[in-house]
Amino acid sequence: MKILRKISETKRITSALILKKKTIGFVPTMGYLHEGHLSLVKAARKKADVVIVSIFVNPLQFAPNEDFTKYPRNFKKDEKLCRNEGVDYIFYPDIKEMYPDDYSTYVIVENVSLGLEGKIRPEHFRGVATIVLKLFNIVQCSFAVFGQKDAQQACVIKKMAEDLNVNTKIIISPTIREKDGLAMSSRNVYLNPEQREDAAYLYKALEYARRKLTLENYNRDIEFIRGQISKLIKSRKTATKIDYISFNNSRTLEEVKTLKNLKNTDILISLAVRFGKVRLIDNIVIKR
Ligand code: AMP
């Protein structure tokens, strides 16, 4: 496994691989890797001749009041985990390499970026789309794997790839969870023991909704389901604020306002909840 810190060297290597007709599979991350990230690497490893993981905490997707400087980092551990998974290259640039002082180009994906996370974090997806397109151009991958954990991000990237005729296939991989259901996230290290215990209720609440909508075939008031999810989460002392509990078309992210006549519409139920200063997101998709 080789660590690449420069764009020029990385492009040289990936161009040579393409000439040799190698399939490059790519997993973009912000590091502090866990089993969720590694599941994406495994999915890439199955299909690719060469697997590249990027580790870059992208300042552009953090608002000034967010946790960019505090975001957890442990490159040595990440390196070991990647080596164990058979990764071929880690692309690990520094900030100036990606955003030199005169940097001035950004990618904005309209509509799907606006609701949910986009409402609370208005600049976030501009940062995400910009870095992802830059990374695609550098690693020149045939496909890239993203996690369903960040459902809106997956929609934004897919739309960007479609609209800008990007030569990379986008693959979405399922959310990996802890034993108690909490979706794995680099940010889970911020949780104190009590918050950690309460955080498992996010998935319990989503599973409640799944049961109601599938097993019980509930098709009446969506506000009732939202209310029940909210009640369950609010019953936990450390859940200090619910940013949203949302029902959306899983592809277009249009809001689903009624459960009637929803044939062929998969519903994304997503939520964002703060446990003190720690903000967690999670989602499930109800297939119809
Ligand atoms: P991040 O390092 O948080 O930017 O995440 C990098 C990639 O890993 C993104 O595509 C995430 O959606 C994905 N990811 C993060 N957590 C999980 C998880 N628990 N299960 C599956 N994929 C995940």
pLDDT tens digits for range 121-178: 999 999 999 999 999 999 999 999 999 999 999 999 999 999 999 999 999 999 999 9
Looking at 3.40.640.10, 3.30.1300.10, 3.30.70.1520, 2.60.40.10, the CATH number of the domain 186-286 comes to 3.30.1300.10
Q: Can you tell me which atom of ligand 1 is nearest the CA of 150? A: 12
Q: Judge whether 2-173 and 186-286 match in fold.
A: no
Reply yes or no on whether the pLDDT at 222 is more than 80.
yes
Residue 40 Cα to ligand 1 midpoint, Å, equals 8
pLDDT category of residue 193 using cuts at 50, 70 and 90 = very high
Rounded to two decimals, what is the model's pTM? Answer: 0.97
- CA-based end-to-end distance of the chain: 43
Write out the two tokens for 170. 């986008």
CA-nearest residue, atom 6 of ligand 1: 29
pLDDT given for residue 264 in this prediction: 82
Looking at 3.20.20.70, 3.40.50.620, 1.20.58.1290, 3.30.2130.30, the CATH number of the domain 2-173 comes to 3.40.50.620
Annotated active-site residue 34? The verdict is no
What average pLDDT does the segment 227-246 reach? 98
pLDDT given for residue 263 in this prediction: 78
CA-nearest residue, atom 14 of ligand 1: 147
Angle at 282 between CA 273 and CA 107, to 5 degrees: 95
Q: Can you tell me which atom of ligand 1 is nearest the CA of 30? A: 2
pLDDT given for residue 218 in this prediction: 82
Determine which helix (DSSP H) or strand (DSSP E) holds 239, and give its type and residue range. Answer: strand 239-249
Domain borders along the chain are 2-173, 186-286
Reply yes or no on whether the pLDDT at 67 is more than 80.
yes
Answer for the pair 89, 13: CB distance below 8 angstroms, yes or no.
yes
Residues with CB under 6 A from ligand 1: 29-30, 36-37, 39-40, 146-147, 149-150, 173, 175-176, 183-186
pLDDT category of residue 220 using cuts at 50, 70 and 90 = confident
Residue 190 backbone zone (phi > 0: left; psi -120 to 50: alpha; other: beta): alpha
**What are the tens digits of pLDDT across the range 28-56?**
999 999 999 999 999 999 999 999 999 99
202 or 261, which is more confident: 202
- Mean pLDDT rounded to a whole number for the chain: 97
